[in-house]
Structure 1
Amino acid sequence: MSFTTLLSCDELAEHLNDQNWRVFDCRHQLSDVAYGEKSYAEGHLPGAFFLHLDRDLSGPMNGRNGRHPLPDAVLLANKLGASGVSRETQVVVYDDGDGMIAGRLWWLLRWFGHDRVALLDGGIRQWVKAGRPLTTDLPEPAATVFAVDMNLRDWVVRTEDVLANLDRNELCLVDARDPDRFRGENETLDPVGGHIPGARNRFFRDNLDAEGCFRLPAELRREFLGLLAGVEPAQAVMQCGSGVTACHNLLAMEIAGLQGAKLYAGSWSEWCADPARPVAC
């Protein structure tokens, strides 16, 4: 059996020692880029490897491509292979931010064509709450080759496509940022406040219940269909500030059985880097 969206702490515990499973800790804070590694060193799930949002799950910034450009596929594939991930491996990802960062790795692996990847529902908080152990031991990888077909899935939308859509109105842009930032208020991460004209707002935390776990598929399906208002899921494009939390909405849509949406990887941070592009508030 493969897990492709979510799995529970109990399900992970049953497979924690399986040789063909790999777990990745993706904890990160935008305000403290050393936080994830420090937290990992203080305690992580047994067998978990660490991947850093900036170094591993993103590529270099050039001032025009947003705060978290997509990583080089070969470089990330090599890092995954060095941790023992092959095409047959079940991958599990987690963080302590309600899936905000781990969702990025979930999406990247699927973009690479690797569907055997799931997010630990509730993350490390639910793991600890359930009385499960943490460790400071570092895993010993059995390196292998994670082969990436360079014909990656056609799941990425470029700024040029979003700009052209202002006239064509063929795509439905969905912004995962909190409502304040969507309205251009309390912007602290990017130099310009507001949103892309025509975008709709779906705060990623609305996908979660009070415990930080994903809500029921039927609830997510109803809300996303209401948001899309007749637009086919395949015409939906998820975005956020830098292409990270947008993946949370993509995961929620997958849980809801709404496949085919794409990612505007550059998102707001790339869009607003050019003052010639229009801004709505």
Structure 2
Amino acid sequence: MSDVHHPQSPHEGHDGHEHHDGHDRYEGQTHWPSAWPHPAALPVPALVDAAWLHQRLHQRQHQHQHRDAVVLLQVDDDSSSYYERHLPGARPIDTFDELHQHVRRGPLHRAGFEHLMDAKGVHRGDHVVLYSAGDPTHAAFAFWLMRLYGHPRLSLLDGGLRAWAAAGHPLSQDVPTWPGPHPAPAHTDGTDGTDGTDGTDGTDGTRDTAYTADERDASLIIGREEVLTRYVDAPAPALVLDCRTPGEYQGSSHHQLDVAAERHRVPGHVPGSRNLPSALVLNPEGTFKTREQLRQLFASRNLAADSQVVVYCRLAERSALLWFALAELLGHEPVRHYVGGWAEYGSLIDAPVTREDAPVEHG
């Protein structure tokens, strides 16, 4: 994102303005006067570039390490690329194996998320910087998930590993060590406690994690029933954005992982939705477009100040990228993520579907 790249100081936000967050007052401090906010309570920019991150990490190496913990998480569709190269000190996350429930389909419930944070050595006050080696949608999905459970200090590395390497910053194959996870609770249903079978948050009322998450933020997520009743062919201010490719949206092509012969999922899109492929929010090198470019892009899909936005794709990764651009970079509210996506909606019996070449059906 061109209006993000290299802030003049590590306190400059992604809006290009200096944020006097008070960090300078803490240089050399080993304890914090009660009248001063602890660094863990200070805000951080949602989008940072390689220069910003390198400067922040360099500062930490020459100051008291505990004063403002930065945790790097590399998020990819699988972790194999992490072991080839990663940012020094980064920890791996596998999108499909670690960010989703293991029995039911869907993102982690609260208990599973808390165990994941413990497993990665993440504390509630840590500044977590997320990035991907390849497709940035995976880091964006992890960002959305952490925001869903209220982690307060999150940043996305603009351009990911590719931008970091292009800037000449070091990469590593060393796997760091960090505090291990707490043992998972025993469940009589044979699950690992991440599927919500014992309660709305996936627990049986006990807690054995060091990390404590908030309840899910309902303003960031939406389910199929509300999509069907409130957003199908709904007038403004409702606005549904389909983040898939034009071919998927029109129903003329399938995602490469779909098996068209099974006809388990019809092609097309949610009636009334507008197509905005997630790739359009990025520059060719994988960084985000400027805020003005993003405003024009969303305005071309009829975004207004009062729009009640829902985003979806096939699963939930591509739409997470659009959610990040609209909610975090442009500050629009509300933007709710339909994580079921077309994988769910296109499989529903008798749900209304629009397809460009659909024949007229009778009866």
By the TM > 0.5 criterion, same fold? yes
Counterpart for residue 109 of structure 1: 146
User: Could you tell me how far 1:258 is from its partner in structure 2?
Assistant: 1.8
291, 294, 312: which one pairs with 1:239? Answer: 312
Partner SS state of residue 26, structure 1: strand
Please give the alpha-carbon distance, in whole angstroms, between the structure 2 residues aligned to 1:172 and 1:189: 28
- The alignment status of 1:157 with 2:225, answered yes or no, reads no
Cα separation, partners in 2 of 1:266 and 1:54, compared to 1, 3 Å: same
**C-alpha distance after superposition, 1:77-110 (max 9, x if no partner):** 2221332322211111111334211000111111
Which segment drifts farther, 202-211 or 166-175?
A: 166-175
The residue type equivalent to 2:257 in the other structure is L
Counterpart for residue 55 of structure 2: 14
Q: What residue ranges of structure 1 are gaps of 5+ in the alignment?
A: 29-35
Counterpart for residue 31 of structure 1: none
162, 167, 186: which one pairs with 2:253? Answer: 186
**C-alpha distance after superposition, 1:5-33 (max 9, x if no partner):** 210111111233644111111122xxxxx
Kept after mapping to 1: 8 A contact 2:81/2:133: no
Number of equivalenced pairs = 268
Partner SS state of residue 172, structure 2: coil
- The alignment status of 1:204 with 2:262, answered yes or no, reads no
- The alignment status of 1:261 with 2:335, answered yes or no, reads yes
- The alignment status of 1:146 with 2:211, answered yes or no, reads yes
User: Could you tell me how far 1:115 is from its partner in structure 2?
Assistant: 3.2
Please give the alpha-carbon distance, in whole angstroms, between the structure 1 residues aligned to 2:345 and 2:271: 11
User: Could you tell me how far 1:139 is from its partner in structure 2?
Assistant: 1.4
Counterpart for residue 177 of structure 1: 244
The residue type equivalent to 1:171 in the other structure is A
Counterpart for residue 291 of structure 2: 217
Please give the alpha-carbon distance, in whole angstroms, between the structure 2 residues aligned to 1:151 and 1:104: 15
Counterpart for residue 79 of structure 1: 116
Please give the alpha-carbon distance, in whole angstroms, between the structure 2 residues aligned to 1:108 and 1:263: 10
Counterpart for residue 171 of structure 2: 134
The residue type equivalent to 2:146 in the other structure is L
Cα separation, partners in 2 of 1:4 and 1:270, compared to 1, 3 Å: farther
Cα separation, partners in 2 of 1:135 and 1:279, compared to 1, 3 Å: same
Q: What residue ranges of structure 2 are gaps of 5+ in the alignment?
A: 1-10, 12-42, 181-208, 259-264, 356-363
The residue type equivalent to 1:110 in the other structure is R
User: Could you tell me how far 1:218 is from its partner in structure 2?
Assistant: 1.7
**Greater relative contact order (Cα 8 A, min sep 6): structure 1 or 2?**
1
49, 72, 77: which one pairs with 1:23? Answer: 72
User: Could you tell me how far 1:178 is from its partner in structure 2?
Assistant: 1.2
Please give the alpha-carbon distance, in whole angstroms, between the structure 2 residues aligned to 1:277 and 1:221: 32
Please give the alpha-carbon distance, in whole angstroms, between the structure 2 residues aligned to 1:84 and 1:61: 24
**C-alpha distance after superposition, 1:96-137 (max 9, x if no partner):** 334211000111111111231111100111111112221111
Kept after mapping to 1: 8 A contact 2:239/2:303: no
Please give the alpha-carbon distance, in whole angstroms, between the structure 2 residues aligned to 1:79 and 1:59: 11
Please give the alpha-carbon distance, in whole angstroms, between the structure 1 residues aligned to 2:45 and 2:152: 6
User: Could you tell me how far 1:152 is from its partner in structure 2?
Assistant: 3.4
Partner SS state of residue 321, structure 2: helix
Counterpart for residue 94 of structure 2: 52
Please give the alpha-carbon distance, in whole angstroms, between the structure 1 residues aligned to 2:102 and 2:177: 29
Please give the alpha-carbon distance, in whole angstroms, between the structure 2 residues aligned to 1:60 and 1:141: 24
Please give the alpha-carbon distance, in whole angstroms, between the structure 2 residues aligned to 1:168 and 1:217: 28
Please give the alpha-carbon distance, in whole angstroms, between the structure 2 residues aligned to 1:70 and 1:228: 29
Partner SS state of residue 128, structure 2: strand
Counterpart for residue 33 of structure 1: none
User: Could you tell me how far 1:61 is from its partner in structure 2?
Assistant: 5.9
Which segment drifts farther, 12-21 or 237-246?
A: 12-21
